[in-house]
Structure 1
Amino acid sequence: MHTDYAAWSWTSGKGIDGLQLIRKPLVQPGPGEVLVANRAVALNPVDWKIIEWGHPAWSTGRVPGVDGMGVVVAAGAGVPIKPGTRVAYHQSLERDGSFAEYCLLDAATVLTVPAALDDTAAASLPCPGLTAWQALDKIPGTGPSDVLVVGAGGAVGLLLVQLAAQRGYRVWATAAKKHHERLKGFGAVDVFDYRDGHWQQNLQASLGERRLKAVFDTVSGTHAAALAPLLGYNGHLVCIQDRQETAPLPAFSTAISLHEVALNSFHAHASLSDRQLLRQAGERLLEDVLSGNLTTPKSQVFDFHNLPQALHALKQGGEGGKWVARLDETDPNPFAQA
């Protein structure tokens, strides 16, 4: 019988280099919870940012990590999910996270993984996939209006381009040149190099008399505000990083709507029906990955014991892709007597 498990522990003020691999006691899930034995853990930019910056709910000993995939090994009272079910998840920042052999989760938030979908692909989906879905869900209607995805070379932007194109939008994007052909293959009409000082003028020339219905910005609130003039009347400025604290344009001009995307907030503020919709959306995205209708970033698999080094590589940019740790399959019932 297992009594403890390995987990990466955060130390206040020490950043990535302060992470320590420790042993934590294994506990049974309570009502409405499931215990998952992780098989794959995916890294996201939010992970290194919160580790470096801290979080109001964190104290020394917190286990970071928002995305993971594994097998349910125990379920609490009132949970219909059976042990042995493969699930992927986005964990709340206010609970111990995925950087561990086991993770205790709110059962209402886990996504059932299709039997034929690879563990790594499943772990890579929740944070960027659900963020992209939420961002697109801010915009009413479907195509053929024009939308712009800024920072489409990242995981969220890559998925957002695909989802917007599938909804019939004319999708424009910005990204480093190495991503251009791939993004066009996913449905982008054209892709502009964000380092080109004339890219906005080139976009406007391509649009002609049309204006953008929506701008999805993955860079910062300040960057998004600078793009507001590209929007047409009743357009939508969607901030995937930060938010708009003040209106970026004069009142009663183009009357744009401002949106913030905050995936972690659903853990504290979403109603039961909100959670059901999010779970259904996530499971559809997983099915789309399996069928080939949705492509996730290329995975860079690393050893779980090298997690801090992988976080440093993610922070520095490097070759890009999705950093995923694979874990050994654990005992299907950690509480069983040997």
Structure 2
Amino acid sequence: MGVAAQQWIAPDWGGPQRWRLTDTTAPDPQQGEVTIRVRAAGMNPADHKHVAAPRPGVALPVPIGYEISGEILAIGPGTRIGSGEVQVGDEVVAFRVRGGYATALTIPAEKAFRKPGPLSHAEAANLLLAGTTAAEMLDRVHAAAGETILLHGASGAVGVMVLQLAALRGVRVIGTASAAGAERVRGFGGISIAYGDGLLDRVRGTGIPVAASLDAIGTDEAVDVSLALIEDRARIVTIAAPGRAAEHGFGAIAGTQPASTAFRDGIRGELVRLADEGRLVVPLARTYPLSEAVEATRFLAEGHPGGKVALIP
């Protein structure tokens, strides 16, 4: 019979004003599946960007949301989750799901992991998209202990994850940020510098050799400074300027790329473990009721929420 649920969908391509909160059913889980009662849905810019315009292979309507935290409602026969054995009532996080802006969801069980104990549901629901992206960026440029890297957009969600993961590797970070984000960068162990005119001179003025550059913001300034500082194009990566990457021969990654998908799936368990040990945190800016997903998306799209945003059913 399944579980009665509500879920946000995009019935047409375009902005969030087109979205609809619909009545639906989370079907009974089959072998290899679990049904989750959603306690929080993580919000990311990709959620609205991916339904703003038609995409090859994606048919309307599109369920919205990629990561959730909640409780196991039902388990398919002979099924384990990504982190191992599971029972009804266990708290889990899940990433790379379809339609996380919901009250209940049936998903492939391998996408679910036991929720890190120190994190609230709202925090846990925002761990894995930003965390796996940050981990892949560091891996792509082969950031090594003792090196210093430049991170553009260091106070954002991905930037904060890069700062934490870099520190665990013994990598020092010079991070660009606004005046409002500077304290957040320093709080996570980075050396904060202001972006804007004269950025290249300010980076060089630190007197610290920069071994690699990570771009989480995608501005021409970020790319130009990276190119001026880093001769080896293999040690530059962006998640926001793929056109410039193709033009200049440095790396651009995205979750839709097969190599990125494989890496991010493979690193999920490690990030959950680090969070469970209290070594990764998720700064949270605000939560909204599930019914206010459109308003929450507008808040997120302002670009400087000061932390992650979650929807609470």
- 8 Å CA contact 1:242, 1:260 repeated in 2: yes
- Give the Cα separation in 2 of the matches to 1:112 and 1:104: 16
- Give the Cα separation in 2 of the matches to 1:137 and 1:7: 35
- Give the partner amino acid of 2:227: A
Task: Report deviation, 1:130.
Answer: 1.4
- Give the partner amino acid of 2:156: G
Matched, 1:325 2:291: no
1:85 is matched with which residue?
A: 90
1:254 is matched with which residue?
A: none
2:33 is matched with which residue?
A: 33
- 8 Å CA contact 2:136, 2:264 repeated in 1: no
1:300 is matched with which residue?
A: 286
1:123 is matched with which residue?
A: 125
Write out aligned runs for 1:205-216 (5 A).
205-207=205-207, 210=209, 212-216=210-214
Task: Figure out how many residues of one structure are paired with residues of the other and give that number.
Answer: 306
- Give the partner amino acid of 1:192: I
- Stretch of structure 1 that moved more, 43-52 or 146-155: 43-52
- Give the Cα separation in 2 of the matches to 1:131 and 1:42: 15
Task: Report deviation, 1:242.
Answer: 4.2
Partner SS state of residue 178, structure 1: coil
- Stretch of structure 1 that moved more, 199-208 or 279-288: 279-288
- 8 Å CA contact 1:165, 1:187 repeated in 2: yes
Instruction: Look at both structures and tell me which one has the larger radius of gyration over its CA atoms.
Output: 1
- Give the Cα separation in 1 of the matches to 2:205 and 2:139: 28
Structure 1, unmatched stretches of 5+, are 250-257, 328-338
Normalised by the length of structure 1, the TM-score is 0.81
2:267 is matched with which residue?
A: 278
- 8 Å CA contact 1:108, 1:275 repeated in 2: no
1:241 is matched with which residue?
A: 240
Structure 2, unmatched stretches of 5+, are 81-85
2:192 is matched with which residue?
A: 191
Partner SS state of residue 170, structure 2: coil
Q: Give the 3 Å change call, closer, same or farther, for CA 247–14 of structure 1 in structure 2.
A: closer
Task: Report deviation, 1:53.
Answer: 2.8
- Give the partner amino acid of 2:195: Y
Write out aligned runs for 1:95-174 (5 A).
96-140=98-142, 142-174=144-176
Task: Report deviation, 1:59.
Answer: 3.0
- Give the Cα separation in 1 of the matches to 2:304 and 2:246: 34
Deviations 1:62-107 (A, max 9, x none): 2111121111222224422332221112224xxx320111122222
- Give the Cα separation in 2 of the matches to 1:294 and 1:284: 9
- Give the Cα separation in 2 of the matches to 1:316 and 1:207: 34
2:83 is matched with which residue?
A: none
- Stretch of structure 1 that moved more, 47-56 or 308-317: 47-56
Q: Give the 3 Å change call, closer, same or farther, for CA 179–14 of structure 1 in structure 2.
A: closer
- 8 Å CA contact 2:3, 2:28 repeated in 1: no
1:262 is matched with which residue?
A: 254
1:76 is matched with which residue?
A: 76
Normalised by the length of structure 2, the TM-score is 0.87
- Give the Cα separation in 1 of the matches to 2:20 and 2:76: 29
- Give the Cα separation in 2 of the matches to 1:318 and 1:139: 26
Q: Give the 3 Å change call, closer, same or farther, for CA 313–229 of structure 1 in structure 2.
A: same
- 8 Å CA contact 2:117, 2:276 repeated in 1: no
Partner SS state of residue 180, structure 2: helix
- Give the partner amino acid of 1:296: V
Deviations 1:235-273 (A, max 9, x none): 601112243553527xxxxxxxx3333234469953xxx
- 8 Å CA contact 2:124, 2:282 repeated in 1: no
Q: Give the 3 Å change call, closer, same or farther, for CA 224–237 of structure 1 in structure 2.
A: farther
Task: Report deviation, 1:222.
Answer: 5.3
Q: Give the 3 Å change call, closer, same or farther, for CA 41–234 of structure 1 in structure 2.
A: closer
- Stretch of structure 1 that moved more, 226-235 or 39-48: 226-235
- Give the partner amino acid of 1:305: S
Task: Report deviation, 1:314.
Answer: 0.9
Matched, 1:49 2:38: no
- Stretch of structure 1 that moved more, 318-327 or 220-229: 220-229
Residue identity over aligned pairs, in percent, reads 25
- Give the Cα separation in 2 of the matches to 1:114 and 1:246: 38
Task: Report deviation, 1:151.
Answer: 0.4
